[in-house]
Amino acid sequence: MPKLIGNLILALLLGEVRPIKKISIFLVREKKCLVVDPKQSGSLSVIIQTLVLKDDGVEICFLGAEPVQTDYARVVYLVRLWIDLMKIISALIHYDITKGVQREYSAYFVPHQTVD
Protein backbone atom coordinates (compact mmCIF):
# COMPACT_ATOMS: atom_id res chain seq x y z
CA MET A 1 0.00 0.00 0.00
CA PRO A 2 1.49 3.39 -0.97
CA LYS A 3 2.48 5.56 1.99
CA LEU A 4 0.01 8.33 1.06
CA ILE A 5 -2.97 5.96 1.17
CA GLY A 6 -1.76 4.57 4.49
CA ASN A 7 -1.55 8.11 5.88
CA LEU A 8 -5.05 8.93 4.60
CA ILE A 9 -6.49 5.80 6.21
CA LEU A 10 -4.66 6.57 9.46
CA ALA A 11 -6.06 10.12 9.44
CA LEU A 12 -9.55 8.71 8.95
CA LEU A 13 -9.14 6.29 11.84
CA LEU A 14 -7.85 9.06 14.10
CA GLY A 15 -10.71 11.36 13.14
CA GLU A 16 -8.41 13.96 11.62
CA VAL A 17 -10.34 14.32 8.37
CA ARG A 18 -12.31 17.54 8.58
CA PRO A 19 -16.02 17.60 7.75
CA ILE A 20 -16.98 19.38 4.54
CA LYS A 21 -18.65 22.18 6.58
CA LYS A 22 -15.29 23.24 7.97
CA ILE A 23 -13.38 23.53 4.71
CA SER A 24 -11.73 26.92 4.66
CA ILE A 25 -9.55 26.34 1.62
CA PHE A 26 -12.16 27.96 -0.61
CA LEU A 27 -12.08 31.13 1.48
CA VAL A 28 -8.46 31.76 0.49
CA ARG A 29 -8.59 33.79 -2.70
CA GLU A 30 -5.76 32.31 -4.67
CA LYS A 31 -5.72 30.26 -7.81
CA LYS A 32 -6.29 26.57 -7.28
CA CYS A 33 -7.47 23.53 -9.19
CA LEU A 34 -10.49 21.76 -7.71
CA VAL A 35 -10.48 18.11 -8.78
CA VAL A 36 -13.97 16.70 -8.32
CA ASP A 37 -15.18 13.13 -8.29
CA PRO A 38 -17.38 12.94 -11.43
CA LYS A 39 -20.18 11.33 -9.40
CA GLN A 40 -20.17 14.35 -7.05
CA SER A 41 -20.27 17.07 -9.70
CA GLY A 42 -24.06 17.40 -9.48
CA SER A 43 -23.88 17.80 -5.70
CA LEU A 44 -21.20 20.46 -6.07
CA SER A 45 -23.38 22.57 -8.34
CA VAL A 46 -26.17 22.40 -5.74
CA ILE A 47 -23.85 23.68 -3.02
CA ILE A 48 -22.09 26.42 -4.96
CA GLN A 49 -22.32 27.80 -8.45
CA THR A 50 -19.33 26.80 -10.53
CA LEU A 51 -19.25 30.26 -12.09
CA VAL A 52 -18.62 31.72 -8.63
CA LEU A 53 -15.70 29.34 -8.19
CA LYS A 54 -14.25 30.31 -11.56
CA ASP A 55 -14.57 33.99 -10.69
CA ASP A 56 -12.53 33.29 -7.54
CA GLY A 57 -9.73 31.70 -9.57
CA VAL A 58 -10.75 28.07 -9.16
CA GLU A 59 -10.21 25.79 -12.12
CA ILE A 60 -12.51 22.75 -12.03
CA CYS A 61 -11.29 19.35 -13.26
CA PHE A 62 -12.73 15.87 -12.92
CA LEU A 63 -10.92 13.01 -11.25
CA GLY A 64 -9.75 10.30 -13.58
CA ALA A 65 -6.78 8.07 -14.21
CA GLU A 66 -5.03 10.76 -16.27
CA PRO A 67 -2.83 13.36 -14.53
CA VAL A 68 -4.37 16.74 -13.75
CA GLN A 69 -3.46 19.24 -16.46
CA THR A 70 -3.12 22.56 -14.66
CA ASP A 71 -0.53 25.25 -14.09
CA TYR A 72 -1.85 26.01 -10.60
CA ALA A 73 0.38 25.22 -7.62
CA ARG A 74 -2.51 24.22 -5.35
CA VAL A 75 -4.65 21.17 -6.11
CA VAL A 76 -7.72 20.33 -4.02
CA TYR A 77 -9.39 16.93 -4.34
CA LEU A 78 -13.08 16.67 -3.39
CA VAL A 79 -14.12 13.03 -3.59
CA ARG A 80 -16.24 10.31 -2.04
CA LEU A 81 -14.66 8.31 0.75
CA TRP A 82 -13.65 5.25 -1.28
CA ILE A 83 -10.31 3.47 -1.19
CA ASP A 84 -10.21 3.26 -5.01
CA LEU A 85 -10.44 7.05 -5.24
CA MET A 86 -7.66 7.38 -2.65
CA LYS A 87 -5.51 5.11 -4.80
CA ILE A 88 -6.14 7.29 -7.86
CA ILE A 89 -5.23 10.45 -5.91
CA SER A 90 -2.09 8.77 -4.60
CA ALA A 91 -1.07 7.71 -8.12
CA LEU A 92 -1.67 11.22 -9.51
CA ILE A 93 0.40 12.84 -6.77
CA HIS A 94 3.15 10.26 -7.24
CA TYR A 95 3.15 11.02 -10.99
CA ASP A 96 3.61 14.74 -10.30
CA ILE A 97 6.46 14.01 -7.89
CA THR A 98 8.27 11.81 -10.42
CA LYS A 99 7.96 14.59 -13.01
CA GLY A 100 9.36 17.16 -10.55
CA VAL A 101 6.11 19.13 -10.34
CA GLN A 102 5.90 21.22 -7.15
CA ARG A 103 2.32 21.48 -5.86
CA GLU A 104 0.41 21.74 -2.62
CA TYR A 105 -2.26 19.05 -2.29
CA SER A 106 -5.38 18.85 -0.16
CA ALA A 107 -7.96 16.07 -0.12
CA TYR A 108 -11.47 16.41 1.28
CA PHE A 109 -13.79 13.46 1.51
CA VAL A 110 -17.55 13.66 1.12
CA PRO A 111 -19.35 11.33 3.55
CA HIS A 112 -21.87 8.78 2.37
CA GLN A 113 -24.46 10.44 4.58
CA THR A 114 -24.54 13.53 6.74
CA VAL A 115 -24.95 13.52 10.50
CA ASP A 116 -26.69 16.42 12.23
- Report if pTM > 0.85: no
Domain ranges of the chain: 3-110
Domain range 3-110, its CATH number among 1.20.20.10, 3.40.50.2060, 3.40.630.30, 3.20.20.70: 3.40.50.2060
Q: Which residue has the higher pLDDT, 34 or 88?
A: 88
| Phi-psi region at 5: left, alpha or beta (left = phi > 0; alpha = psi -120 to 50) | alpha
Query: How far apart are alpha carbons 112 and 19 in whole angstroms?
Result: 12
- The pLDDT confidence band at residue 2, using thresholds 50, 70 and 90, is very low
Of the chain, the percentage scoring pLDDT greater than 90 comes to 17
Angle, vertex CA 81, rays to CA 75 and CA 84, nearest 5: 85
Query: What's the pLDDT tens digit per position in 33-79?
Result: 888 888 876 655 545 555 556 666 778 888 988 888 898 999 988 88
Q: Specify the pLDDT at position 22.
A: 43
Instruction: Collect contacts of 21-26 with beta carbons under 8 A, ≥24 apart.
Output: 23/108, 25/76, 25/106, 25/108, 26/53, 26/56, 26/58
